[in-house]
């Protein structure tokens, strides 16, 4: 299984000119690279998906940052999974902590989105993780457990292989603090156990479990490689193509060395 390097560009790249600068810089950084063990997935704002699709040089996969669970109809302002699929999106981030926090997304709402993404042939990247308060009151594992179980309620075994889970402690996003490799490993083991209970060993073992939150070239060794994660979800650093490609290279090289 290739390691996944997911770049969440969030609400950035404010104009077509900025987007074009980003894409030509990224093209330059990717030129000549052949990372066999890692794969970059970029999740730009919706308005840039078409341009990213046209640009795509096959070294990068495409994802969205969110979606609405219905396929079409009177849902002003929303984006359907069918629209994403038609723009060559393969992945969609679901339940990012910023959606939970600013838009009040509940585990129930996230569950509907996961089911719809799977039904429409998209691979959902389910984000879970505890807040600082939850960590301080030692609720980390129970929070992760509830989030994973409720988000995946009713998902069939046959679809399990399409799911990606990202462990993203909310307190580690957008700052400069990261959990220890042991803490991340503990979260990963718990998530894997829940997946095995839900879907059986055969399917659950191939589900990629990523780490997200302040990933950069300095932290990636501890948060991804030492902790045995299947990849990373990157916010800020993904806006710097040279950093994004460097992180992908570090993870790729760690697989070569094994
Ligand atoms: P960050 O964001 O890398 O800027 O901490 C991560 C995320 O929000 O997924």
Q: What is the 3-state secondary structure (H, E, C) of the chain?
A: CCEEEEEECCCCCCCHHHHHHHHHHHHHHHCCCCCCCEEEEEECCHHHHHHHHHHCCCCEEEEECCCCCCCCCCCCCCCCHHHHHHCCCCEEEECCHHHHHHHCCCHHHHHHHHHHHHHCCCEEEEEECCCHHHHHCCCHHHHHHHHHHHHCCCCCHHHHCCCEEEECCHHHCCCCCCCCHHHHHHHHHHHHHHHHHHHCHHHHCCCCEEEECCCCCCCHHHHHHHCCCCEEEECHHHHCHHHHHHHHHHHHHHHHHC
For residue 158, the CA-to-ligand 1 centroid distance in Å is 30
- Mean pLDDT over 96-121 rounds to 97
Please report the atom of ligand 1 found closest to the CA of residue 168.
9
Which pTM was predicted? 0.97
Higher local confidence (pLDDT), 215 or 158:
215
Q: How many CA atoms lie within 13 A of 253 on its CB side?
A: 10
pLDDT of residue 203: 87
Confidence of residue 176 (pLDDT cuts 50, 70, 90): confident
The catalytic residue among 98, 134, 168, 237 is 168
- Per-residue pLDDT tens over the stretch 207-218: 999 999 999 999
Contact 95, 105 (CB under 8 A): yes
Q: What domains can you pick out in the chain, each with its CATH number?
A: 3-241 (3.20.20.70)
Q: Is there a catalytic annotation at residue 105?
A: no
Confidence of residue 155 (pLDDT cuts 50, 70, 90): very high
- Mean pLDDT over 87-97 rounds to 97
pLDDT > 70: what percent of the chain? 99
For residue 125, the CA-to-ligand 1 centroid distance in Å is 14
- Per-residue pLDDT tens over the stretch 65-87: 999 999 999 999 999 999 999 99
pLDDT of residue 257: 66
pLDDT of residue 66: 98
pLDDT of residue 258: 63
Higher local confidence (pLDDT), 215 or 161:
215
For residue 96, the CA-to-ligand 1 centroid distance in Å is 10
Mean pLDDT of the chain: 95
For residue 202, the CA-to-ligand 1 centroid distance in Å is 31
Decide whether any atom of ligand 1 lies within 6 Å of the 215 Cβ: yes
Q: Is there a catalytic annotation at residue 96?
A: yes
pLDDT of residue 60: 93
Q: In this structure, which residue's CA is closest to atom 8 in ligand 1?
A: 235
Please report the atom of ligand 1 found closest to the CA of residue 173.
5
- Per-residue pLDDT tens over the stretch 10-36: 999 999 999 999 999 999 999 988 889
- Per-residue pLDDT tens over the stretch 230-247: 999 999 999 999 999 999
């Amino acid at each position: 299984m290739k390691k996944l390097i997911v770049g969440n560009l969030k609400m950035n790249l404010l104009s077509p000119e900025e987007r074009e600068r980003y894409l030509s810089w990224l093209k330059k950084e990717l030129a000549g690279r052949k990372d066999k063990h890692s794969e970059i997935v970029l999740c730009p704002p919706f308005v840039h998906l078409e341009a990213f699709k046209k640009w795509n040089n096959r070294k990068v996969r495409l994802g969205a940052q969110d979606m609405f669970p219905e396929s079409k109809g009177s849902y002003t302002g929303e984006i359907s999974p069918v629209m994403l699929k038609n723009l060559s999106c393969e992945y969609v981030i679901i339940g990012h902590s910023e959606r939970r926090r600013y838009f009040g997304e509940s585990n129930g709402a996230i569950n509907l989105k996961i089911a719809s993404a799977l039904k429409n042939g998209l691979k959902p990247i389910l984000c879970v993780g505890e807040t600082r308060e939850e960590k301080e009151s030692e609720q980390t594992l129970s929070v992760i457990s509830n989030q994973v179980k409720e988000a995946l309620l009713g998902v069939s075994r046959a679809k399990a292989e399409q799911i990606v889970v990202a462990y993203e402690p909310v307190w580690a996003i957008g700052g400069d603090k990261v959990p220890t490799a042991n803490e991340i490993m503990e979260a990963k083991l718990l998530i894997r156990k829940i997946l095995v209970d839900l879907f059986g060993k055969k399917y659950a073992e191939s589900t990629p479990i990523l780490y997200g939150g302040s990933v950069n070239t300095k932290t990636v060794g501890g948060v991804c490689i030492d902790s045995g994660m299947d990849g990373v979800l990157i916010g800020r650093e993904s806006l710097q193509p040279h950093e994004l490609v460097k992180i992908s290279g570090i993870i790729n090289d760690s697989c070569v060395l094994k």
